Structure 1
Amino acid sequence: MEELQLEDPEAFMNFLRLDMATFHELLARAILDVMEAKVMKTPIEPQDWLQVAEQFQGRLQFPHVLGALDGNYKGFCSIVVMGLVDADYKFLWIQVGDVGSSSDSQIWNHCALHQSIQQGILGIPDAEPLPFDDVDIPYYIIADYAFAIKSWLMKPFSRQGLAHDELVFNYRLSRARCMVENAFWLLANRFRCLLSTLQVKVATASLIVRTCVVLHDVMILDKEDVNHNLVPGARRDTAKLEDMNHTGVTVTQ
């Protein structure tokens, strides 16, 4: 199929009775229909959130983290991709399609994930003491200065003249928050169409981005060895994918 598309686009179109753009859009929709709900699942139970927190604690020595949050866009004729990422660079949630002129805080304050957390329907774990302490501390998402601090959202100290322990805290938080920035970098470099202008409508661009994110998460679940061969990841079983066989983006309209 791929060889036919490359060697003889007209024969490819006659074979499918579809133009190439329509074929790719249908393929993207099929990937999302089959895989999106199974691969990119936002936790809704306390035990699932606790697994995310254990990842951040074990890998980055930052406790009680339920995910790293950020938005990504190019700043001109663009749409924003906002994502929540775990410590394995896997997207737990995304929102795609807000205009590039919108700030991260504007998008976040009106998105479904924010509303669900506010309403207490996402199964966020109850507050518990940090390691070697006896004071209950809430579990939280980590983000940058653009977001408003909440009991469930942590951001760096922003004032001048920080004390040593506050500087250490900022360093640790920034180090953990880099998971979402690195995830966007991996996403764009795996699917390099996201680094250029997409000559499609906004709705189609959003579809392309969502598909790329789902495939990115599949690659996280299925690791690659040093020879770039696919090795099924340990988390594939927990995602129940055994039956899978049955970034800011610039657009032009």
Structure 2
Amino acid sequence: MNEVELNPIDLSVMFEFADYSDLQRDLAHGRERHMEMSVAYYLGKLSREFHSGELDEDMLESVDETLFIINMDNDYTLGFQGDQEVKYADVVSGGQGMTMIVRLTGGRDALIETPMIIFQNKDCMYPIRGVPDDIPGVCYRTGPKGWNDTLIFPQWCKENRVITRDRADRTRIIYMDNCSCYNETPELTATLQDINAIIRKLPPNSTHLCQPCDSFVIEKIKQEWRTEWEAYKLEMIKQNMWSVGSRKLLNPGNTFFLKLAASSV
């Protein structure tokens, strides 16, 4: 049997690759362990504050956002949820991004409050021409990326349809992700004082573990959104509602998506 000679350089590369893979696994495990410990500390502190009476469950709230990508599929690439084979696929490029901010109140009378949609608009125009902000059950603002940021979030706090000062002047405690859009700015600080609210940030990268607004509420909203949106796309196909020359479905417009948001919630 012929012996196989291994070049020492090849062996060195192999050992270095193995060491690097082990290091990656160790780092990933360390990050996961640190996140779990952070969440455990956070939940323990929350429990102690409840038992001591420091926290009033009626004044605890959760706020989170979710991004929707709206694709106007063409007749060659059209997909629906639950397809068993990929005859068609949703268009990825050219999608219109928009964000929904959702607020969930606590206590025995917990409610999903009026959501705010953030439309993509490079000039941050509000209101958008031809899009009145008067649809029941929803409101909107605009931003260059269609996402929440340090300029839009204070506007959310000022919008009476989504949040107001408590009638008994109790302090609202709002739990949110550890996201830069919630970082304190002079405008945000003043706005929070106006509505008598404080923000508590959740541990980093832990939304899936301790953010009830994301884990329960937003997931249901997104499911309802997808169901209604796909039904509408199918109806547009039946009605042959294509944009001239682009082979894309006609864009139903921002007012349609505001109504869809209100219906989904």
Name the TM tier (shorter chain): 0.3 to 0.5
TM-score (norm 2): 0.34
TM-score (norm 1): 0.35
Q: Which has the higher contact order (CA 8 A, sep 6+)?
A: 1
Which has more helix, going by share of residues? Answer: 1
Which entry has the higher C-alpha Rg, 1 or 2? Answer: 2
